[in-house]
Amino acid sequence: MNIGVHRSLAALRMTSFVAPLAGSCAFAYSVALQAMSPSKSIVIRELASFDDLKQVEGVEREVWESADVDVLPLAVIIALKEAGNLWIGAFDGAHLIGFAFGFLGLHHGRPNLHSHMLAVRAAYRDTDVGYKLKMAQRELVAATRVHGIRLDEITWTFDPLQSRNAHLNFAKLGVISETYKPDFYGPETTSSLHRNSTDRLWVRWPIASRRVEDRLRGKENRTVMLDALSTVLPLVQFNGEGKPVRTSLEEAEIRQRIAIEIPTDIGALEKKDPAVARDWRQATRWAFVEAIKRGFFVAEFCRMVRGQQGPGAYILEKGSVGEYVPEMTK
């Protein structure tokens, strides 16, 4: 995938507090998608007009299959944009095919961007649009200042049973997580993706760190991770029938590194065997909560087979995030 970057201003977002996160710079990525006709391209840019913003609801409905009560109203979308929050869209012509939405947040008293939503229409999910939206988000946030403080971290949440998202977040982007939130949005929502609870990992993306720079340059650590998985204790692992089995918490607690295995495709499993899918939710919830309580954090995710999907395992390390990623001690 080749990207050309076009800017109308030489400098990005040297803003102070209450200056908007969005709208201070016009920019666009022209993304040539290998999975499509060579004559087609996707443009990634900030949502600017009413016509741009009114397409957000349609993408939400397609991606999450939610009822009206769980879809962000157009009036709120417009207000959030005008208040300075960051809306980045991926366009196929004039058609919005994906977006990333974030707002200003605080972590340990430092300002950051919380990326609340990332959505890509189904027909475009194998074209790396989600990754490119995160790259555009990172570029804009890195150039933002709040009261002279540089924003150097983006946070978001995702369902830890979604292996595709886990691979994107940990293997390709380089996030870290030290927080697991059971039923983050309640026991369920009207979305078809939220019927098996709404547990989330809260992840931190230290956008200026060596770890992230290495991941974005494609420096792969999969071989190291597979070697690690051959020796670590899985706190939750597959049995011969594809069901989760819990191992000894006491034995895991004395180790420096543990693992938590997850299924290949939790969405397909929820349709085929909802009871087993619920077992995976309960088992992994127990494992994450108990491990984090005992001083572990989520450091990596590794697919056990190569390809777009595949069963995978999280690797959790004992200690502080700052020891693992020095830039996160600031």
**Residues with Cβ < 8 Å from 318, sequence gap 6 or more?**
255, 256, 257, 294, 295, 296
Beta carbons within 10 angstroms of residue 279's beta carbon? 15
What does pTM read for this prediction?
A: 0.86
Count Cβ atoms within 10 A of the Cβ of residue 313 and give its class: 0-12 exposed, 13-18 middle, 19 or more buried: buried
Per-residue pLDDT of the chain (330 residues; tens, 9 = 90+): 333 333 332 233 333 333 445 444 444 555 544 444 333 689 999 999 999 999 999 999 998 887 777 789 999 999 999 999 999 999 999 999 999 999 999 988 889 999 999 999 999 988 899 999 999 999 999 998 888 889 999 999 999 999 999 999 999 999 999 999 999 988 766 666 666 789 999 999 999 999 999 999 988 777 777 777 878 889 999 998 889 999 998 888 888 999 999 999 998 998 899 999 999 999 999 999 999 999 999 999 998 765 545 579 999 999 999 999 999 986
Handedness of CA 293, 172, 197, 137 (dihedral sign): positive
Using DSSP's 3-state secondary structure scheme, residue 127 falls into coil
**234: which 2 tokens?**
């899985």
pLDDT of residue 145: 87
pLDDT of residue 14: 33
pLDDT of residue 306: 52
pLDDT of residue 20: 47
* HEC profile of 156-169: EEECCCCHHHHHHH
pLDDT of residue 329: 83
Q: Do 181 and 138 form a contact (C-beta atoms < 8 A)?
A: no
pLDDT of residue 225: 78
pLDDT of residue 189: 62
